[in-house]
A and B are shown apart, each in its own frame.
Chain A
Amino acid sequence: MVTLVSKVLPPGEMSALLVDIAATRDRQKFAQLFEYYAPRMKAYLMRQGTDSAGAEELAQEAMLIVWRKAESFDPAKASAATWIYTIVRNLRIDALRKMRRPEFDIDDPAFVPDPPQRPDEAMVSDQLERRVKEALRALPEEQAVVVRLSFFDDKPHGEIAAELSLPLGTVKSRLRLAMRRLQPLLGD
Chain B
Amino acid sequence: MLPNHHIDEDMLLAYAAGTLGEAASVLTAAHLSLCPHCRAGVAAAEAVGGALLEDIAPAPVSEINVAAFLDRMDAAEAPTSQKTARGDGLLPAPVSNYMSSDMKSLKWSFVQPGVRFAELLVDGTGARMGLMHTQPGASITPHGHSGEELTLVLSGGYSCNGQGYRRGDLQSADESTTHELTTDLDGECLSLVMIRGRIRPTRWIARILRHFTDF
Q: Which residues of A contact B (CB under 8 A)?
A: 1-2, 4-6, 8, 27-28, 30-31, 34-35, 37-44, 46-47, 52, 55-56, 59-60, 64, 67-68, 77-79, 81-86, 88-90, 92-93, 97-105, 107-115, 125, 128-129, 132-133, 136, 147-148, 150-157, 171-172, 175-176, 178-180, 182-183, 185-186, 188
- Give A116 to B45 CA distance when docked, in angstroms: 22
Beyond A104-B94, A110-B33, A112-B34, whether A183 also contacts B18 by CB under 8 A is: no
Which of B19-27, B130-138, B179-187, B198-206 is found at the contact surface with chain A?
A: B19-27
Looking at B34, B41, B43, the one whose CB has the most chain A CB atoms below 10 A away is B43
Is the beta-carbon distance between A38 and B61 smaller than 8 angstroms? yes
Q: Determine if B61 and A129 form an interchain contact, defined as CB atoms under 8 angstroms apart.
A: no
Let me know if B10 and A157 touch, CB within 8 A. yes
Measured CA separation A77–B44 after assembly (Å): 11
Determine if A110 and B89 form an interchain contact, defined as CB atoms under 8 angstroms apart: yes
Chain A residues lying within 8 Å of B41, measured Cβ to Cβ, are 179, 183, 186, 188
Instruction: Please list the residues of chain B having a beta carbon within 8 angstroms of any beta carbon in chain A.
Output: 2, 8-10, 12-14, 17-22, 25-26, 28-30, 32-37, 39-41, 43-64, 66-67, 69-70, 73, 78, 84, 86-94, 97, 123-125, 168
CB distance from A35 to the nearest CB of B (A): 8
Residues of chain A contacted by B168 (CB below 8 angstroms): 112
Instruction: Give CA–CA (A99, B56) in the complex, Å.
Output: 26
Docked-complex contact A108 and B59, CB < 8 angstroms: no
Most buried by B among A90, A108, A113: A108
Residues of B contacting A129 in the complex (Cβ-Cβ under 8 angstroms):
47, 50-51, 54
Which B residues touch A113, using CB under 8 A? 36
Q: Are B19 and A155 in contact (CB under 8 A)?
A: yes
Answer whether A40 and B48 are a contact pair too, CB < 8 Å, given A4-B58, A104-B29, A186-B43: no
CB-CB under 8 A from B46, the residues of chain A are: 78, 82, 85-86
Residues of A within 8 Å of B21, CB to CB, are 99, 156
Q: How far is the CA of A133 from the CA of B47 in the complex (A)?
A: 9
CA gap between A155 and B18 in the complex, in Å: 9
Alpha-carbon distance A150/B19, docked complex (angstroms): 8
Q: Which of chain B's residues have a CB closer than 8 A to the CB of A188?
A: 37, 40-41
Asked if A110 and B47 sit within 8 Å, CB to CB, the answer is no
The listed residue (A44, A97, A175) touching B56 by CB distance below 8 A is: A44
Q: Please judge, given known A-B contacts A27-B67, A40-B56, A104-B32, whether A85 and B50 are in contact too, CB under 8 Å.
A: yes
A105: chain B residues within 8 A (beta carbon): 33, 84, 93-94
B interface: dominant SS: helix
Interface core residue of A100, A103, A128 (most chain B CB under 10 Å): A103
Q: Can you sample 18 A-B contacts with CB below 8 Å? A: A1-B61, A39-B58, A39-B59, A64-B73, A77-B43, A78-B50, A79-B47, A81-B53, A85-B53, A102-B28, A111-B93, A112-B36, A125-B47, A128-B44, A133-B55, A182-B47, A183-B9, A183-B44
Q: Given A27-B67, A39-B58, check contact A104 B92 (CB 8 Å).
A: yes
B90 to chain A: which residues have CB within 8 Å? 110
In whole angstroms, what is the CA distance A14 to B2 when docked?
A: 35
* In the bound complex, CA of A83 to CA of B24 (Å): 22
Contact B44 A176 (CB under 8 A): no
Q: Which residue of A lies closest to B64 (CB)?
A: A60
The reply to whether B22 and A99 form a contact with Cβ atoms under 8 Å apart is yes
Q: Which residues from chain B contact A125 at a C-beta distance below 8 Å?
A: 47
Contacts of B37 in A (CB 8 A): 188
* CB-defined contacts of A81 to chain B, threshold 8 Å: 50-51, 53-54
> Given A30-B70, A68-B78, A182 and B60 touching (CB < 8 A)?
no
Knowing A104-B33, A112-B35 touch, does A60 contact B69 (C-beta < 8 A)? yes
